[in-house]
């Protein structure tokens, strides 16, 4: 048994991401995620203030931690949480013109720049105060500033943290993803934010794409569309950040390169799919009568992906991350959330 595991792991690890996870059939996990997502969709239609995406996450967490689906479901759950989410974003592109995408992206750059700065400074200062290690501070700061677990995964091969630091960071980020999905729509209504104001807030202050999409569309369709574009613009900043980190690591190590750093691995390729879909929409190649169907399909794909993310969460593991990383994540998340609203208020956008 030990020898077999030793032989198969390097072969799997050496391969790049493929469409279907290696050595496992994804159908069991995909079917489980889809069935739960359908229930979440129905509940969301009955209680639109909460929405299908939120029900998807919550039901996924309940099923994972109460019924504990076996290993045969794991490949499909991972597939849905990553690839189905990307497909949903691409599908949303068919409902958005490139003109709207370009305008929203430029409009959000000022707010995004401030929130990223707030994330970096608060992670550094609060991390020092709490005695959190440098690499863990960096992971939580980058994850909160850019795109959650995807950003953490992108910088991990560059800064090479310990496994437990990566686990701490991802668990902490995920905790506040869930909190954001649940709290942001309610707070947005309490603050009487417009659809565009909430979309800008969600797109610049929530760290993970799935959570931005969930919170945005739980608020309204217009807020969801706007938040998605803002978030995708923000996600592209992972490239210069990773390049900068690679340069710093290379300089400190006094070597020319930075190990297994790869721009192709970092780049969020689904953004290109989103832009192509938007280009098709801009060219008028999507019939108007099909657009509501495409949006409904995209919404269901989102719920499936978020359900899978819920099915991936382990409450005991999240609780075991300790208090200091969670306090750091809370502080950075609060700094980003408040700074986003403050900049919009100063610019007269609220």
Q: Which of 274, 338, 342, 349 is nearest to 122 (CA)?
A: 338
**pLDDT of the residue at 163:** 62
Q: What are phi and psi of 49, to 5 degrees?
A: -65, -30
Q: What is the pTM of this model?
A: 0.64
Q: How many CB atoms lie within 10 A of CB 247?
A: 13
Q: What is the DSSP string of 87-135?
A: HHHHHHHTTS-HHHHHHHHHHHHHHHHHHHHHHHHHHHHHHHHHT--HH
Q: Which whole-number Å values give the CA distances from 209 to 58, 89, 127, 168, 336, in the listed order?
A: 17, 9, 25, 19, 15
Domain ranges of the chain: 24-346
**pLDDT of the residue at 118:** 92
Q: What is the DSSP string of 17-54?
A: P-SS-TTS--HHHHHHHHHHHHHHHHHHHH-TTT-HHH
**pLDDT of the residue at 281:** 85
**Contact assessment for residue 214 and residue 57, using Cβ atoms and an 8 Å cutoff:** yes
**pLDDT of the residue at 84:** 86
Q: For every one of its 350 residues, what pLDDT tens digit does the chain have, with 9 covering 90 and above? A: 444 444 344 443 433 333 344 446 889 889 999 999 999 999 988 876 567 877 888 898 889 888 888 888 988 888 887 788 778 878 877 877 777 667 777 778 888 889 989 999 999 999 889 888 888 889 899 888 887 776 786 777 777 777 667 767 877 787 787 888 888 998 999 988 999 899 999 998 888 777 888 888 888 888 988 888 888 778 777 778 877 887 777 766 655 554 555 555 555 677 678 778 888 888 888 787 888 888 788 889 888 988 887 888 766 765 665 788 889 989 999 999 999 999 988 887 66
Alpha-carbon distance of 1 to 13, in angstroms, equals 19
| 75 Rama sector, left if φ>0, alpha if ψ -120 to 50, beta otherwise | alpha
Alpha-carbon distance of 237 to 313, in angstroms, equals 27
**pLDDT of the residue at 13:** 40
> How deeply is 298 buried, as exposed, middle or buried, from its count of CB atoms within 10 A (0-12, 13-18, 19+)?
buried
**pLDDT of the residue at 313:** 72
Beta-carbon contacts of residue 350 (< 8 Å; ≥ 6 apart): 193, 194, 197, 341, 344
**pLDDT of the residue at 257:** 53
């Amino acid at each position: 048994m030990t020898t077999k595991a030793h032989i198969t792991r390097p072969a799997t690890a050496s391969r790049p991401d493929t469409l279907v996870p290696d050595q496992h059939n994804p159908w069991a996990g995909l079917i489980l995620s889809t069935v739960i997502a359908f229930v979440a969709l129905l509940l969301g239609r009955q209680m639109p203030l909460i929405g299908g995406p939120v029900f998807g996450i919550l039901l996924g967490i309940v099923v994972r931690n109460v019924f504990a689906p076996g290993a045969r479901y794991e490949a499909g759950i991972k597939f849905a949480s990553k690839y189905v989410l990307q497909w949903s974003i691409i599908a949303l592109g068919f409902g958005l013109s490139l003109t709207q995408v370009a305008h929203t992206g430029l409009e959000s750059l000022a707010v995004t720049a401030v929130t990223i700065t707030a994330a970096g400074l608060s992670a550094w200062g609060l991390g020092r105060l709490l005695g959190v290690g440098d690499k863990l501070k960096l992971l939580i700061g980058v994850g909160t500033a850019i795109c959650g677990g995807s950003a953490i995964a992108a910088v991990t091969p560059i800064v090479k943290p310990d496994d437990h630091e990566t686990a701490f960071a991802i668990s902490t980020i995920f905790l506040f993803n869930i909190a954001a999905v649940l709290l942001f729509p309610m707070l947005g209504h309490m603050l009487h934010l417009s659809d565009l104001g909430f979309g800008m807030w969600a797109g610049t202050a929530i760290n993970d794409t799935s959570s931005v999409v969930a919170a945005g569309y739980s608020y309204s369709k217009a807020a969801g569309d706007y938040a998605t574009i803002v978030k995708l613009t923000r996600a592209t900043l992972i490239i210069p950040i990773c390049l900068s980190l690679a340069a710093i690591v290379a300089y400190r190590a006094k070597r020319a390169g930075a190990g297994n750093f790869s721009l192709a691995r970092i780049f969020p390729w689904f953004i290109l799919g989103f832009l192509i879909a938007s280009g098709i929409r801009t060219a008028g190649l999507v019939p108007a009568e099909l657009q509501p169907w495409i949006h409904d399909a995209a919404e269901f794909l989102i719920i499936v992906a978020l359900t899978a993310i819920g099915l991936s969460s382990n409450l005991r593991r999240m609780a075991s991350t300790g208090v200091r990383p969670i306090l750091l994540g809370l502080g950075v998340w609060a700094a980003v959330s408040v700074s986003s609203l403050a900049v919009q208020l100063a610019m007269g956008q609220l």
